[in-house]
Chains A and B, each alone.
Chain A
Amino acid sequence: MKTAPFEYSRPATLDEACALLAADPDSRLIAGGQTLVPMMAMRLARPSRLIDIQRIPELRGIREDGDVVVIGAATRQMETERSALVTSKLPLLAAAIVWVGHAPTRARGTVGGSIANADPAAEIPLVLATLGGHVVVKEGGTRRDVSMPDLVLGPMTTSVPAAGCIVEARFPVWKDKRVGVGFHEVSARKSDFAYVSAAAQVALDETGRCTRLAIGIGGATPVPTRLDSVESALEGQILTAEKVRAALVAATADIEIMRDSHASDAYRRRVAVGLGQRAIMDAAANSKGGPA
């Protein structure tokens, strides 16, 4: 499998990359290439030019900025996995990232690439959506904050304009004293595309009452979906498996669930409840201390 011919550019700055992108509608950005290159090999993608942004300094790195951790779009997934800042401040991302592909693809694949690709089964966009984070999109000379619901429009479809580039992802950090996380997914084999995934982050007070909860499901839904009604139903409660289950059943009863030859929508809806419950109960159980 060989790709079709293309031109290759490696601009030194983000401004240059955006100018190149705007100049040719058939050009594509490449960073880790772990999805784009297979698409090109199968000739499902045939860009006229690849604009390599992997080494652009302003797109790389992980830093804290007030109440968020900012991850540059071209930061490799493996750097994120090994980052002490992510481990301590973004425990949900730390729990989810080891489910992204395999170690050799995480060694090259990037955080921004996974978000831009918007695969319904992708873990990184699910975590960002669950935490209510957003991305910064640059187009020409302007930068905009875009929330996940506004960014991901459907499977593999985002609102990023053809000449736009995701610059960074901004993940909210919970400063609550007792924070716990849970992440689960079901797929045909480890590291394959998830049929259903569930991500939960929970904060408890000293009495064990839930003060804050975020739960999102992916894989089953066309876009990563935060279940707001579960959050409002359970906040202020002592979390029990029965209450959590009832809230999840109600929340997933009439959302759009996908189906394909691997898994029916009925199965996925049922598994979404089961995994959501496990994720929330795990989060409640491991919410010992806060993420520092």
Chain B
Amino acid sequence: MKVELKVNGATHAAEVETRTTLLDCIRDNLNLTGVHTGCEHGVCGACTVLIDGEPARSCLMFACQADGYEITTIEALAPAPGELGVIQDAFCEMHGMQCGYCTPAMILTAHALLKRNAAPTRDDIVDAISGNICRCTGYGQIVESIELAALRIRGTNEANTP
């Protein structure tokens, strides 16, 4: 069947099976491979995208259910090709990643958190990323990366530019 998805501000048409998940559609039809495939049953969070601004698991939704929503992937967070957004930059600086598999999902989740809460406590951050598994870092540097990004965003004049 044909679906029309609004991803990163642009409308994309794709031909999918009803059983094609939003995850597979974004990766295979739209070629946006920043969204990662992990467990494919809702446990790991690697497939996180933002749906109307909220983190959600793209493996738990079928592409045919996803029309009409604003879907955001990691590809939308960099200001320009080859540049990094504030949160991405903070992850690099604080060693918030090792293999990088969980990272796009962590950054999108942090982005949604910082939009809602510019000054999250450590507990707020831990709670926000609690649905995202990282098998490398032990989470410490991820939390620190988000703290650094929050500090930097608060320090700029432009509100909400993660």
Contacts and interface: CB of A to CB of B under 8 A. Distances in A.
A102 B130 contact: yes
B83 interface: no
Interface string A45-85: 00000101010000000000000000000000010000000
Contacts of B54: 78, 103-104, 107
Interface residues of A, number: 29
A7 B40 contact: no
A213 B104 CA distance: 47
A103 B55 contact: yes
B61 A108 contact: yes
A2 interface: yes
A107 B130 contact: no
B73 interface: no
B18 A6 contact: yes
A5 B131 CA distance: 28
Contacts of A117: none
A107 B65 contact: no
A246 interface: no
Nearest to A42: B41
A48 to B, nearest CB: 11
Given A37-B42, A41-B40, A41-B41, A103 B64 contact: no
B57 A108 contact: yes
Contacts of B128: 103
Contacts, number: 83
A190 interface: yes
Secondary structure at the A interface, as helix, strand, loop or mixed, is loop
Contacts of B19: 2-6
Interface string B48-60: 1001001111011
B60 A103 contact: no
A7 B61 contact: no
A183 to B, nearest CB: 16
Interface in B40-80: 40-43, 45, 48, 51, 54-57, 59-62, 64-65
A8 B51 CA distance: 21
A237 interface: no
A1 B57 contact: no
Interface string B123-140: 000011011000000000
A33 B1 CA distance: 20
A78 B42 CA distance: 17
Interface string A1-31: 1111111101000000000000000000010
Nearest to A4: B19
B88 interface: no
A38 interface: yes
Given A4-B19, A8-B18, A78-B54, A34 B131 contact: no
A191 interface: yes
A105 interface: yes
Contacts of B127: 103
Contacts of B42: 34, 37-38, 41, 105
Nearest to A54: B65
B17 interface: yes
A247 B83 CA distance: 63
Given A33-B60, A34-B42, A52 B65 contact: yes
Interface in B107-127: 109, 127
A191 B130 contact: yes
Contacts of B61: 33, 37, 108
A10 B128 CA distance: 32
Interface in A141-188: none
Given A101-B131, A103-B54, 9 more contacts: A5-B18, A8-B1, A33-B65, A37-B41, A41-B40, A103-B130, A104-B55, A105-B42, A108-B51
15 contacts: A2-B19, A5-B19, A7-B18, A10-B65, A41-B40, A54-B65, A101-B131, A103-B55, A103-B130, A104-B45, A105-B57, A105-B131, A107-B54, A107-B55, A108-B56
